[in-house]
Chain A
Amino acid sequence: MICRQDISDRRIEARLLALTSLIVLSGFLLVAAGLRVRLVQNPPAWTSAFLFPIVFSVVFFSIHLLLRMRRVTHEQVLLPLTALVCGIGLITVYRLLGSAGVWQQLGRGLLPGLLVVAALILRPNSVEKIRRLAIPLSVVGLALSFATAFFGIVDETGARLALKIGPLPPMQTSEVLKIALIIFLAWFIEREGREVAGRARPAGWLRLPAVRYFIPAGLFVSMGTIALVQMADFGAVIILGVIFFGMIYAGFETRIFTPIALTGLVLALLVGVVLFLTWELPTVIRFRFLAFLDPWSEMMLTIGGEPIGVTVSQGPGYQIQQGIYGIIAGGLTGTGLGLGTPEYIPLAHSDFIFAAILEEMGFVIGVPILIVFVAILLRLLRLAAVLPEEQAFERLLLTGIAIHLFTQLLIMVGGTLNLIPVTGVTIPFLSLGGMALLINISEIGIAIALVRRLEMTSA
């Protein structure tokens, strides 16, 4: 009895969203109060501490109302969980950059992203049309990446990550490339997967697929990699690779996947060895690797005699050092919002946002954030498993999205805790970012639209 009512008016989602709104409101108030206690100059105005949480609640509750109006009954936790991580990101951005940062996060990422989500919910069949975007989006993604690699804005570490076109705000073009690869692979495996598997030559236990099928996908990945290496965006290279192998693994049997994976690994190793022998390691990689091995090294890093960048100006491991100091200061329960000093961590609002969160909110909040990400991953994969078998494209799309979000989180959390070398990627939903946030939220929108379409076809 209870179940049915809960489902028809999405009561669980409403409750979770109400709680999330309360969390965001209390977080903003705590930040404003904490910064006043620390007597920081120009603390954000009290009005902004009320205004932003209200905007946040209104936009997420309007998506909730839209879902109710369209009588969508399933999947009540994905939207609130996304809202929760977005909310914690907003609180941290508010803490570090004040109102200007929050406006940027809302205006360039959250609001456009939720508009896409609303459009996808209203027209769930447009998910169908995403597959037609496979080729155009790949071409656009590659073109944008190459444009960024040569004409992009150079940041403080010497990498070109963003492209500015006309009056538009700078775009992180590698984000377009990642979603393009996911769509491209889902489309490719749906179209050719059966044929590739059917024509594969048996070789003992393994089955060898014909090489020609993988030329387009391989070309895409290698072109993308070249552009990203030119941009010095090595985090994105890793993510492209993981998406590629993950989706091939999801789309083919193990005995077909194994030869593909082995060939890919051997090729990547060959390229790596050739590059290592013939090409001087790019400065960024060298610095990051040195920093990973010894974050406390005091060696000064220079390019042509000039000390470079804020992130490496005091030894290669400066950013990691500050992150670790912050995490230690935070300890189990954190210093309290607005009461810590995460502003000493370079790029605390984007790459190192997890260190800033651990400093001010502590382990007790850091772990639930990771749990929420795991929950989002499981919901996406569950939806992929529930979809009918003939919707191969949609299932692979969801798998790719889950892989993308989670890999990005793991790479950056690992980097923050100095478990792996730091690569400059952002944490989905948390970090300050326009294009990245927009695409991540749209990916969740695709999942919600698929839930609605599943209900429409099975009703």
Chain B
Amino acid sequence: MNDLFSFNSLLFGAKWVFVGLIYSVLLLVVVAVRREMSLRLGAGKVLPSTAPGSLRILARGTDPKASPGDLLPLGPVTRLGASSNNELVLQDDFISAHHARLRWDGASWWVEDLGSTNGTFVDDGQCVPHHPHPLPAGGRLRLGDRVFELVE
């Protein structure tokens, strides 16, 4: 009888293990969703202060000042667009005021289209607006009729 009683209390303890496991799933889901959100917003993390990369101009579009082959240095977060408050100002008919954003997360480059009119393309695939998209070294980035190559 005593034996059975201790088995019972063992089961009682095991019940809480079960409850704990289910709550840890919920916790993990919350953590995963938050991480995804921070990835999308580019917030929630300390960004590195320097970034190893620059854009090489492959096609300059209608801008007479740019010349193919030039290297444009990049910061950890670089906004590209026609408006003058971007880090990289691209005066062009096919480029929106706030066109795209390049981000270095410490390991790789991400590009996010900011809802531009003519879209942002990585190696001829169009980026989904407002979704970070990986940009590999040597990858071709196209905005309007401007084409760049990422050099790390």
Taking chain A's interface residues, is the majority helix, strand, or loop, or is none over half, making it mixed? helix
Q: Does A27 contact B (CB under 8 A)?
A: yes
Q: Given A1-B105, A80-B25, list of 12 further CB < 8 A pairs?
A: A1-B107, A4-B108, A19-B21, A19-B28, A22-B21, A23-B21, A30-B15, A333-B19, A364-B19, A372-B26, A458-B131, A459-B122
Stretch in A104-112, A130-138, A304-312, A334-342 with 4+ CB within 8 Å of B: A334-342
With CB as the reference atom, state the residue of chain B lying closest to A27: B18
Stretch in B5-13, B71-79, B84-92, B141-149 with 4+ CB within 8 Å of A: B5-13
* Chain B nearest CB, measured from A340 CB (Å): 11
State in angstroms the CA–CA spacing of A459 and B120 once bound together: 11
* Chain A nearest CB, measured from B35 CB (Å): 6
Give every chain B residue within 8 A of A12 (Cβ-Cβ): 28, 32, 35
Give every chain A residue within 8 A of B25 (Cβ-Cβ): 16, 19-20, 23, 80, 84, 368, 372
With CB as the reference atom, state the residue of chain B lying closest to A23: B21
Q: Are B128 and A458 in contact (CB under 8 A)?
A: yes
With CB as the reference atom, state the residue of chain B lying closest to A81: B29
| Interface set of B (CB-CB < 8 Å, partner A) | 4, 7-8, 11-12, 14-15, 17-19, 21-26, 28-29, 32-33, 35, 39, 105-108, 122, 125-128, 131, 133-134
Q: Does A454 contact B (CB under 8 A)?
A: yes
| Residue of A16, A334, A454 touching B29 (CB-CB under 8 A) | A16
State in angstroms the CA–CA spacing of A4 and B7 once bound together: 46
Chain A residues numbered 296-335 whose CB sits less than 8 Å from any CB in chain B: 333-334
Q: Does A206 contact B (CB under 8 A)?
A: no
| Residue of A6, A77, A361, A454 touching B18 (CB-CB under 8 A) | A361
With CB as the reference atom, state the residue of chain A lying closest to B35: A3
Total number of residue pairs linking A and B with CB closer than 8 Å: 94
State in angstroms the CA–CA spacing of A287 and B62 once bound together: 77
Q: Does A457 contact B (CB under 8 A)?
A: yes
Q: Are A336 and B12 in contact (CB under 8 A)?
A: yes
Taking chain B's interface residues, is the majority helix, strand, or loop, or is none over half, making it mixed? helix
A and B contact pairs by CB, cutoff 8 A, 15 listed = A12-B28, A23-B18, A23-B21, A26-B17, A30-B15, A33-B11, A81-B29, A84-B25, A334-B15, A361-B18, A368-B23, A368-B25, A368-B26, A386-B128, A454-B128
| Interface set of A (CB-CB < 8 Å, partner B) | 1, 3-4, 6, 12, 15-16, 19-20, 22-23, 26-27, 29-30, 33-34, 37, 76-77, 80-81, 84, 333-334, 336-337, 339, 361, 364-365, 368, 371-372, 375, 386, 388, 454, 457-459
Q: Are A3 and B28 in contact (CB under 8 A)?
A: no
State in angstroms the CA–CA spacing of A371 and B21 once bound together: 15
Give every chain B residue within 8 A of A81 (Cβ-Cβ): 29
* Chain B nearest CB, measured from A430 CB (Å): 14
Give every chain A residue within 8 A of B106 (Cβ-Cβ): 1
Give every chain A residue within 8 A of B131 (Cβ-Cβ): 386, 458
Q: Are B24 and A19 in contact (CB under 8 A)?
A: yes
* Chain A nearest CB, measured from B115 CB (Å): 12
* Chain A nearest CB, measured from B141 CB (Å): 14
Give every chain B residue within 8 A of A6 (Cβ-Cβ): 35
Q: Are A15 and B39 in contact (CB under 8 A)?
A: no
Given A1-B105, A12-B28; A457-B7 close (CB under 8 Å): no
With CB as the reference atom, state the residue of chain A lying closest to B4: A37
Give every chain A residue within 8 A of B12 (Cβ-Cβ): 336
| Residue of B18, B39, B126, B128 touching A26 (CB-CB under 8 A) | B18
Q: Are A333 and B15 in contact (CB under 8 A)?
A: yes
